[in-house]
């Protein structure tokens, strides 16, 4: 009993000693339990800084620094197309040929290969006996007509005063009409030889030695692409060259395309096609003006012609090109640029903008073209999505997922 009493007395003395020491160092004492309770709220705040899975928090400043642009999802038509090979050729409506219709000798060539010419400009001169005969015939018919018209006017005055008989007057009128017909025929012959109205009217003022000379004019404005004769050459005879120059205007050019039978049903006149030169960066738009109803016997392709504006003449005939011919189709409710899509965990994903950042949202895709893709599910029209530099959002998302997996 004495030993038990001594034990409890020792315990009481030890407790009293602890209290005295505590008062000496300051009360209350901070125990480890209190530290744990204080640390718990701090840990909760740290967890709150981690976004929910599939969400990336970005401020406006961070958005600008990352170079991420935004766009609104909407509907439209996909630019689906097929490719057709072809080549550039001169526009057949802009090709002019300087030719002769008589046997003649080339006496003057005023333009060289590659020179620019205007419509109606004199480019060459020839000498021909047929031209001289036609001019002489016209001048003779002109003089005869003038005389007959003068006699007719005089007889008309005399018949009214009964100074000549009516039969004589009728013979004079017949001769005047015949002279007029011959003059008109001689003038038309000169037109057929290529003389202009002004040249014909000026014939009575020309010296006789110039009757054998004929000037040849350019039918269109353009450039001399071919010169087929030499000075002093004989032209116009059967077996001889009848063309002196070929003039080409390249302000417009044709695109000659070969389209397969499977695709020809999608090509219509008036459709705009995109032309790309093979081996270069040149691109332009052309309008289809002709779709052949027949297939080529050898290639089994259909010929399609498109017209291409070429005011700067950078497109050259003979260039091989490829045409993107659009295909029709039903409009899509939601389409987005392909660059807005990222593949995350094997699924196509877009990043949808919200109040705090972006939500990574899996979508189901449909048809597509070179630039855009149709969204069938997962995204509604009018929602704002990240457009450029979406790979940075993907990297941030994968980083957050790795941190969650580590925790």
pLDDT digits (tens, 9 = 90+) for 285-338: 999 999 999 998 888 999 999 999 999 999 999 999 999 888 766 678 888 888
Between 31 and 107, whose confidence is greater? 107
pLDDT of residue 108: 93
127 — pLDDT class (breaks 50, 70, 90): very high
Model confidence at 7: pLDDT above 70:
no
Q: Is residue 166 part of a domain?
A: yes
Identify the domain containing residue 308 by its residue range: 82-92+250-326
Residues 242 and 105 occupy one common structural domain: yes
Helix (H) / strand (E) element for 2: namely helix 2-25
206 shares a domain with 296: no
For residues 240 and 148, membership in a common domain is answered with: yes
Indicate the helix (H) or strand (E) that contains 72.
Answer: strand 70-72
222 and 145 co-located in one domain: yes
Q: Residue 375 is part of a domain; what is its CATH number?
A: 2.40.420.20
Q: Please report the pLDDT score of residue 13 as a whole number.
A: 52
Query: How confident is the model over 206-232, as a mean pLDDT?
Result: 92
Note whether 151 and 217 are same-domain residues.
yes
What is residue 395's predicted lDDT score, i.e. its pLDDT? 79
Same domain, 145 and 66: no
Question: What confidence score (pLDDT) does residue 217 get?
Answer: 92
Residues 184 and 267 occupy one common structural domain = no
Instruction: Give me the pLDDT at residue 70, please.
Output: 82
Task: Say yes or no: 322 and 349 in one domain.
Answer: no
Q: Are residues 122 and 235 in the same domain?
A: yes
Interior/surface letters 92-117, b for 16+ CB within 10 angstroms, e for the rest: eebbbebbbebbbbbeebebeeeeeb
User: Looking at the structure, do residues 115 and 131 belong to the same domain, yes or no?
Assistant: yes
In a domain, 353, yes or no: yes
What is the predicted pLDDT for the residue at 406? 52
In 3D, which of 276, 222, 217 has the Cα closest to residue 91? 222
Residues 126 and 189 both lie in one domain: yes
Residue 126 domain-assigned (yes or no): yes
Q: How many structural domains compose the chain?
A: 3
pLDDT of residue 56: 78
| Helix, strand, coil content of the chain in percent (nearest 5) | 35, 35, 30
d(CA 348, CA 244): 66
Residue 11 lies inside a defined structural domain of this protein? no
- Is 14 inside any structural domain? no
Q: What is the pLDDT of residue 382?
A: 83
- Tell me the pLDDT band of 185, cut-offs 50, 70 and 90: very high
Domain final residue, candidates 281, 307, 326: 326
pLDDT at 350: 86
Q: What are the pLDDT digits (tens) for 35-74?
A: 333 333 444 333 444 455 567 777 777 777 778 888 888 8
pLDDT tier, 402 (very low <50, low <70, confident <90, very high otherwise): low
DSSP state letter for 264:
G
Report yes or no on 164 lying in a domain: yes
User: Are residues 240 and 106 part of one domain?
Assistant: yes
For the cut 80, the answer to whether the pLDDT of residue 85 exceeds it is: yes
Instruction: Please report how many Cα atoms fall inside a 13 Å half-sphere around the Cα of residue 186, on the Cβ side.
Output: 24
Examine residue 41 and state whether it is found in any structural domain, yes or no: no
Q: Which stretch of DSSP H or E encloses residue 188?
A: helix 166-193
Q: Is residue 124 part of a domain?
A: yes
Question: Which of 69-73, 206-210, 369-373 has maximum average pLDDT?
Answer: 206-210
């Amino acid at each position: 009993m004495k030993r038990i009493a001594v034990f409890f007395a020792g315990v009481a003395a030890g407790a009293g000693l602890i209290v005295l020491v505590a008062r000496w160092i300051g009360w209350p004492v901070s125990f480890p339990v209190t530290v744990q309770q204080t640390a718990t709220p701090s840990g909760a705040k740290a967890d709150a800084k981690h976004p929910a899975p599939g969400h990336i928090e970005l401020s406006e400043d961070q958005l600008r620094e990352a170079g991420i642009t935004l766009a609104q999802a909407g509907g439209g038509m996909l630019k689906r197309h097929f490719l057709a090979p072809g080549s550039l050729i001169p526009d057949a409506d802009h090709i002019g040929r300087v030719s002769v219709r008589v046997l003649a000798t080339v006496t003057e060539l005023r333009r060289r290969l590659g020179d620019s010419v205007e419509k109606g400009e004199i480019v060459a001169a020839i000498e021909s006996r047929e031209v001289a005969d036609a001019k002489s015939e016209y001048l003779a018919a002109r003089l005869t007509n003038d005389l007959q018209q003068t006699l007719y006017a005089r007889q008309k005055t005399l018949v009214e005063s009964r100074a000549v008989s009516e039969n004589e007057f009728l013979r004079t009128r017949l001769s005047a009409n015949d002279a007029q017909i011959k003059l008109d025929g001689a003038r038309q012959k000169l037109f057929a030889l290529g003389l202009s109205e002004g040249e014909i009217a000026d014939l009575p003022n020309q010296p006789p030695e110039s009757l054998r000379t004929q000037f040849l004019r350019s039918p269109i404005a353009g450039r001399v692409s071919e010169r087929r004769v030499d000075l002093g050459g004989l032209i116009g005879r059967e077996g001889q060259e009848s063309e002196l120059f070929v003039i080409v205007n390249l302000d417009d050019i044709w695109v000659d395309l070969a389209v397969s039978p499977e695709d020809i049903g999608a090509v219509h006149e008036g459709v705009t096609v995109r032309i790309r030169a093979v081996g270069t960066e040149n691109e332009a738009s052309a309008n289809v003006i002709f779709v052949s109803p027949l297939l080529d016997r050898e290639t089994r392709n259909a010929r399609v012609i498109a017209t291409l504006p070429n005011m700067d003449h950078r497109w050259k005939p003979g260039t091989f090109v490829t045409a993107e011919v659009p295909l029709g189709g039903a409009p899509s409710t939601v389409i987005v640029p392909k660059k807005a899509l990222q593949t995350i965990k094997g699924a196509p994903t877009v990043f949808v903008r919200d109040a705090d950042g972006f939500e990574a949202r899996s979508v189901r895709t449909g048809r597509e073209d070179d630039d855009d893709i149709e969204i069938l599910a997962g995204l509604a029209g009018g929602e704002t999505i990240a457009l450029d530099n979406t790979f940075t959002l993907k990297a941030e998302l994968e980083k957050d997922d790795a941190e969650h997996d580590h925790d």
